[in-house]
Amino acid sequence: MTSFMIDEAVNKRTPLKWTSYDTCPFCNIIANKLPAFRVLETDMVIAFLDILPIRPGHTLVVPKMHCSNLSDLPSDYSRAVGEALSTIANAITRGMTINLNVVCNQGYGQAVPHVHFHMVPAPRTVEPPSTQSPTNRSMNHHEMVMSEYHRREELDEDTGRNMADRIRSRL
């Protein structure tokens, strides 16, 4: 995520589903107390779809240990997270798109204080600059990223289930 997206993240709205839980939402998902569209699970890591996806397929990879900062994560969990990131990246690139962003916020821009990596597939098509006219032009890269950020909407049941199935089927 580029710096302007991190700036936006600092003031982002809180999804309704988080506010009713006093404790960490990701620990609640790990404990099966909160639903999630699960993509992958091992004894040390869980991956599920982000409830407010930046783009379709936006997945969170989370160690099964409550730890706020990546810099404090024990190395066995780091290894397990790294392996999950690479497995899911492979599934996304084979099933959806070869371009993706992987980011982990620590403190700055971090809303959920439990280590997590965002894996965000890139948009499938971007209109080439040659087709743009001053009056009816495509958005430039910066505008496109910003508009995607503001368009984030809560994931619905059918879309979430289908997308999680799609990624899981390629693991």
Report how far residue 148's alpha carbon sits from residue 106's, in angstroms, rounded to the nearest whole number.
Answer: 22
Report how far residue 166's alpha carbon sits from residue 96's, in angstroms, rounded to the nearest whole number.
Answer: 9
How much is the CA Rg of the chain, to the nearest whole Å?
A: 17
Would you count residue 45 as binding ligand AMP (CB under 6 A)? Answer: no
Would you count residue 15 as binding ligand AMP (CB under 6 A)? Answer: yes
Catalytic residue flag (residue 142): no
Would you count residue 111 as binding ligand AMP (CB under 6 A)? Answer: yes
Tell me whether residue 111 or residue 171 sits nearer to Zn ion (CB atom).
Answer: 111
What the block records as the tokens of 150 is 């503001």
CA distances from 69 to 42, 53, 63, 130, 170 (A): 21, 22, 11, 44, 30
Report how far residue 14's alpha carbon sits from residue 16's, in angstroms, rounded to the nearest whole number.
Answer: 6
Would you count residue 119 as binding ligand AMP (CB under 6 A)? Answer: no
Q: Out of 30, 45, 51, 81, which residue is the one contacting ligand AMP (CB under 6 A)?
A: 51
Number of amino acids touching ligand AMP (CB under 6 A): 16
Would you count residue 6 as binding ligand AMP (CB under 6 A)? Answer: no
Residues that bind ligand AMP (CB under 6 A): 9, 15, 17-18, 25, 34, 36, 50-52, 60, 105, 109-112
The residues that are catalytic are 116
